[in-house]
Amino acid sequence: MTLNPEQATRDILQKADITIGGDKPGDIRVNDQRFYGHVMRGGSLGLGESYMDGWWDANELDTFFTKLLRSDEIRKDMGNYLPAIVNAYVSHVVNRQEAKRSLKSVQAHYDIGNDLYTRMLDKRMAYTCGYWNESKNLDDAQEAKFDLVCRKIGLKPGMTVLDLGCGWGCFSKFAAEKYGAKVLGVTLSKEQVALGMEMCKGLPVELRLQDYRDVSGTYDRVVSVGLMEHVGYKNYREFFEVISRSMKDETSVALVHTIGGSISSTSTDPWLDKYIFPNSMLPSVAQIAKAMEGLFVMEDWHNFGADYDKTLMAWYDNFMATWKEIEPKYGERFRRMWEYYLLCCAGTFRSRYNQLWQVVISKKGVPGGYKTVR
């Protein structure tokens, strides 16, 4: 006997100990009966869109996703909905991260407004995972992350650094201020370059509106913090080839900081792809290893993915605390979309569904061995 959409949805959620109308932190409330059919037809895309439209709410959205993603049964079924299948097929036949597509993808997310990001992020405008090892707040966690990167690559005064996917120049500025480095950063976001150059004024930092594939020259150190998620599996090898040819000599060291997935994938979640990060994709350990095979020695692989949960929750708190200041520009549907994005992602890291890696690589191995830094 075929279950109706409501009963089918209830049964699926019950597998993750989530009750519709319950009072536990991860339980949800349905505000519109259209929710059931939309979710059963659209999977994760339908779930996200129906939340944006106000058709359901959760007692704690981050806990809802944590419980959902800790359920093995539900995780197995996540790719069995039409939007996910279509997304995977398109990613297979098209290079969704070619230069022109990458430009549009960056503009869709990073150029929506510096007014949003200046309120949500830390004082340095870091839009990647902080390092909470000994940190008590977001500002300290981001400072600790940048210092960790500098120590891992052995940065010294006078060294030249290439910052691939530099964002607002937050790492570039830190490396110049604290370590005396000379930095070139590249990004495809004109908003990031404009604000970033203002923030880096007076420092030996240049931020350039440029695709990472078009960089030239060689550098003592190469760093990529948060770019690889936008590279795409068809371009992973070229990404590492760019890093290799940008390293000055065999003594150069590079660091790649990226979100990662526990299984190899060639597409992303349909809702995130449509509304938040178009054409994004998380690499796996196997995909990274294959892409850099024969180019590098892997010196260190550090996973601190649980720290992204804390980072995202701090961003969410900042976003909600200042929302009234930008509400007229963005509107209620955007607020629900952004809330869903931040708390959904927090759940993916809290459940350990997603990881955060820093990978240190050298061309032929650090003489005498690499000294691990934490």
Q: Which residues are catalytic?
A: 345
User: Which phi and psi angles does 242 have, rounded to 5°?
Assistant: -60, -45
Which residues are 155's β-sheet partners?
none
Going by C-beta distance under 8 Å and a sequence separation of 6 or more, which residues neighbour residue 294?
Answer: none
Please report where in the chains the tokens 């004082």 appear, as a residue. 123
Q: What ranges in the chain are assigned the alpha helix state H? A: 5-14, 34-52, 61-70, 72-77, 82-93, 99-110, 114-120, 138-152, 170-179, 190-199, 236-246, 270-275, 285-292, 306-330, 332-350
Going by C-beta distance under 8 Å and a sequence separation of 6 or more, which residues neighbour residue 124?
Answer: 139, 142, 143, 146, 170, 173, 174
What is the Cα 119 distance to its own chain's centre? 18
The Cα–Cα gap between 232 and 280 comes to 7
